[in-house]
């Protein structure tokens, strides 16, 4: 599957998250405090709330609905009420663009 | 038809069918940058408040034991009781959300201590509270509705001394310690979490058993006055403030401005309640830590109904509504919005046809 050009690197602040919709599916793209980019499914595995409304702290994303947390690098569920891991996608940065591999 | 508040009853099924369960809720507009700033976590305020809380509790406990059994010890026990039986409610709440401290172990430590004091299993109640946020005051879905309609007056009155709730908590603790869960608990706690419920209940039983043994060995109720009973004699403050959260307001709506109440409180009550008096703001944005809720209130105040100016004023508004609900359980207070607010919208407070 080709890489999808999701956004420019400067579209996301350091230690923040952005929603990206593509092909009827929602994704969340993260920029970590050490300026790396990551991508996961956009909806929380607990009750399908958009994670992009949540808070990025270090390498965690906290869901805005019930404060469940995931490690957005691996998708691992870190704090209840989330128990199911998030799916993650490979990200490449080239020429100031964030490219995600949805394959 | 009278409301059925059980989580497995007909109203629960109706809420799911009508789309009221797990619905989209109204949120005031706050630009992402500002919201991010409001959500930011720090340890400082909660460390300060926790040192103050446990420090004052230790002092009161020390003086209470020292002056026991003289009546002179009573004021110290009363203060200790409120901090044990009421401040633990708000600490349980804030640390359960994980927003009080930035450092996770600090949230967890205070959450475990507070859960024990308020007699709410820390695992069970994390799930129950998540449901309360998904389906706030949706009949048959929200397991934490304090004032059902018509109001159960005797139950509410007895809760001022903690009775039905604490007794239910202790009964549930014994059930869980025996290795079982109530059917309602099993309906909202995932299986993977259920062993934790049982483990915590067993630890608590051990603590209470040691306390009771100490009371028997010393021939004094003092150990129980310090551990366990403050949940009863110190409960009044959290009941007084908690009833105001949603009492007399709309149910089965998906706009927190309609079903929750913000009340401005004196500094002592605000400390005990850890700013949960900003209740509309908390429900709309549960990511904002308690110490930033006054800022959030200032930020979105023009989109919310006016806050009640005091505990007394809030009771003056709520009590007549509760009295009317004895005869007409569908009655509720429709709070008026300032002209600057986005209006209540039909689709946010009526099940879709
Ligand atoms: S919806 Fe994300 S934690 Fe509940």
Q: Which of residues 26-55 of A touch B (CB under 8 A)?
A: 46-47, 54-55
Q: What is the mean pLDDT of residues B85-110?
A: 97
Give the global pTM. Answer: 0.92
Alpha-carbon distance of B267 to B189, in angstroms, equals: 36
Using CB atoms, pick whichever of A55, A65, A80 lies closest to residue B39. Answer: A55
**Residue B44 corresponds to which tokens in the numbers above?**
């400082």
Alpha-carbon distance of B214 to A20, in angstroms, equals: 60
Mind listing the pLDDT tens digit for each residue in A63-81? 999 999 999 999 999 998 9
Q: pLDDT grade, residue B127 (50/70/90)?
A: confident
Q: What is the predicted pLDDT for the residue at B348?
A: 46
Do A49 and A64 touch, CB atoms closer than 8 A? yes
- Domain parsing of chain A, residue ranges: 4-101
Q: What is the mean pLDDT of residues B122-142?
A: 90
Do B101 and B45 touch, CB atoms closer than 8 A? no
Q: What is the predicted pLDDT for the residue at B350?
A: 47
B352 has pLDDT over 80: no
Residue B312 backbone phi and psi in degrees, to 5:
-60, -45
Pocket of ligand 1 (CB under 6 A): A 44, 46-47, 49, 63, 65-66, 68, 81-82; B 130
Q: What is the CATH code of the structural domain delimited by A4-101?
A: 2.102.10.10
- B→A contacts (Cβ < 8 Å), by residue, are 22, 36, 39-41, 97-99, 102, 104, 123, 126-127, 130, 133-134, 190, 192-193, 285-287
Q: pLDDT grade, residue B346 (50/70/90)?
A: low
Q: What is the predicted pLDDT for the residue at B184?
A: 84
Do B74 and B104 touch, CB atoms closer than 8 A? no
Q: What is the predicted pLDDT for the residue at B63?
A: 98
Q: What is the predicted pLDDT for the residue at B2?
A: 86
Q: What b/e readout covers A18-43, taking b as 16+ CB neighbours within 10 angstroms?
A: bebeeeeeebbbbbbeeeebbbbbbb
Mind listing the pLDDT tens digit for each residue in B34-73? 999 999 999 999 999 999 999 999 999 999 999 999 999 9
B299: left (phi over 0), alpha (psi -120 to 50) or beta: alpha
Mind listing the pLDDT tens digit for each residue in B156-186? 899 999 989 999 999 999 999 999 999 888 8
Tell me what ipTM this predicted complex has: 0.88
Is the Cα torsion angle B66, B72, B75, B78 positive or negative in sign?
A: positive
Angle at A19 between CA A17 and CA A20, to 5 degrees: 130
Q: What is the predicted pLDDT for the residue at B351?
A: 43
Using CB atoms, pick whichever of A47, A64, A79 lies closest to residue B98. Answer: A79
- Strands of the sheet containing A37-41, edge to edge, are A3-8, A97-101, A88-94, A37-41, A25-31, A16-22
Do B114 and B85 touch, CB atoms closer than 8 A? no
B100 has pLDDT over 80: yes
């Amino acid at each position: 599957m080709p890489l999808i050009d999701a956004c420019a690197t400067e579209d996301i602040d350091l230690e923040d998250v952005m929603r990206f919709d593509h092909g009827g599916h929602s994704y969340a793209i993260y920029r970590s405090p050490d300026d790396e980019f990551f991508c996961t499914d956009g909806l929380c595995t607990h009750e399908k709330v958009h994670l992009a409304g949540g808070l990025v702290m270090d390498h965690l994303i906290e869901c805005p609905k019930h404060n469940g947390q995931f490690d957005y690098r691996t998708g691992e569920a870190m704090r209840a009420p989330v128990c199911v891991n998030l799916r993650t996608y490979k990200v490449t940065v080239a020429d100031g663009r964030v490219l995600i591999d949805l394959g | 038809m009278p409301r059925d508040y059980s989580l497995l009853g007909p109203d629960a099924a109706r809420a799911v069918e009508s789309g009221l369960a797990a619905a989209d809720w109204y949120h005031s507009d706050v630009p992402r940058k500002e919201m991010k700033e409001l959500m930011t976590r720090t340890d400082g305020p909660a460390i300060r408040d926790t040192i103050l809380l446990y420090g004052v509790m230790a002092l009161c406990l020390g003086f209470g034991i020292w002056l026991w059994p003289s009546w002179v010890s009573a004021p110290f026990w009363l203060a200790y009781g409120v901090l044990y039986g009421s401040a633990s409610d708000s600490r349980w709440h804030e640390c359960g959300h994980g927003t009080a401290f930035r450092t996770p172990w600090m949230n967890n430590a205070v959450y475990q201590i507070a859960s024990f004091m308020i007699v709410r299993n820390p695992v069970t109640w994390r799930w129950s509270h998540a449901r309360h946020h998904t389906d706030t005051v949706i009949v048959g879905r929200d397991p934490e509705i304090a004032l059902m309609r018509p109001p159960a007056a005797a139950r509410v009155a007895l809760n001022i001394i903690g009775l039905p709730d604490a007794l239910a908590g202790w009964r549930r603790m014994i059930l869980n310690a025996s290795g079982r869960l109530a059917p309602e608990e099993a309906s909202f706690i995932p299986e993977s979490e259920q062993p934790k419920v049982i483990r915590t209940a067993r630890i608590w039983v051990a603590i209470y058993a040691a306390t009771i043994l100490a009371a028997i060995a010393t021939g004094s109720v003092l150990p129980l006055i310090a551990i366990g009973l403050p949940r009863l004699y110190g409960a009044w403050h959290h009941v007084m403030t908690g009833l105001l959260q949603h009492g007399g307001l709309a149910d089965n709506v998906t706009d927190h401005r309609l079903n929750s109440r913000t009340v401005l409180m004196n500094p002592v009550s605000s400390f005990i309640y850890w700013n949960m008096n900003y209740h509309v703001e908390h429900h709309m944005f549960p990511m904002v830590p308690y110490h930033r809720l006054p800022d959030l209130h200032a930020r979105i105040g023009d989109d919310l109904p006016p806050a009640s100016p005091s505990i007394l004023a809030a009771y003056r508004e709520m009590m007549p509504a509760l009295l009317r609900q004895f005869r007409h359980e569908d009655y509720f207070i429709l709070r008026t919005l300032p002209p600057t607010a986005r209006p209540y919208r039909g689709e946010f407070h009526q099940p879709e046809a």
